[in-house]
Amino acid sequence: MFRNDLLAEKVILITGGGSGLGLVMARAFAAHGARLSLVSRDRGRLVAAAQELDPGGAVHVHAADVRDPAAVQAAVDSALARFGRIDVLVNNAAGNFLAATEDLSANAFDAVVRIVLHGTFHMTSAVGRHMLERGAGTILNILATYAWTGSAFVVPSAAAKAGVLAMTRSLAVEWGGAGIRVNAIAPGPIPTEGAFSRLLPTPELEQSARERIPMKRFGEPGELANLALFLVSDASPYINGECVTIDGGGWMNAGGQFNQLTRIPREELRERLRGFRR
């Protein structure tokens, strides 16, 4: 679909880049000429991803927790020391799980919000200062469709993603005049091992999620990668402040992604949700 040199010489930093959708995007970016800096808490996954993407060692990795501003700044400094600049930031790191809200502890709520909302801010702030100095850059945030619909049983994630959507639109205005584009993608269900094991852990839940999508299927990783390629490339220079949905029409059909679980008797559901988290 795209020329192999679409992202030639662009330096792209991806949080959560060692697995899941982050690694899916990293593969696509590398295949189209980008130089990559991958950031994640799990150094083992980062090293394995780097070996897969470029056994010659051209992929830069840095283990960091996006909840820690100092660790984030160290990761950005490390990428700048390696490549001299960062052209694109992809905020993909996330945390999520299904839970009845009355069973959530303050620490559980805080953990998700600090990864998704605070982590996105810390990384955007650190990279944004560099981009402002250069007068150019592109930021892409990975959201979820319940950022604007809300959804039962994922309240911490929904609240945090809504904040990131507001941040996307706010910074698109604030930084647009400085040559920085800020956009977002809101994917529906796209099978990856980590996300599906936590959010759709049974065949019953998978089937229920599939049935609420008008196209009657889940998204494919390559479909998300193609959209990300377009939005971070020079093929979309006038798209700024936009959130592009890629969910087969799912959110328009059924609203919050996990709302169908309210049909299960409450105590039964709470027991099942606790079992998923063990």
Of 208, 223, 214, 224, the residue nearest 248 (C-alpha):
214
Cite the active site residues. 146
Query: How far is the C-alpha of 98 from the C-alpha of 153, rounded, in Å?
Result: 5
Looking at residue 45, its amino acid is R
Q: Where are the alpha helices (DSSP H) in 59-192?
A: 69-83, 106-113, 119-134, 146-149, 155-176
- Which are the contacts of 119, defined by CB distance < 8 A and separation ≥ 6? 15, 66, 67, 72, 91, 93
Per-residue DSSP letter, 101? G
DSSP labels for 35-76? Answer: EEEEEES-HHHHHHHHHHH-TTS-SEEEE--TT-HHHHHHHH
Query: How far is the C-alpha of 187 from the C-alpha of 168, rounded, in Å?
Result: 16
Find out whether 47 and 61 touch, Cβ atoms under 8 Å: yes
DSSP labels for 224-276? Answer: HHHHHHHHHSTT-TT--S-EEEESTTHHHHHSSTTGGGGGS-HHHHHHHHHHH
Query: How far is the C-alpha of 108 from the C-alpha of 152, rounded, in Å?
Result: 16
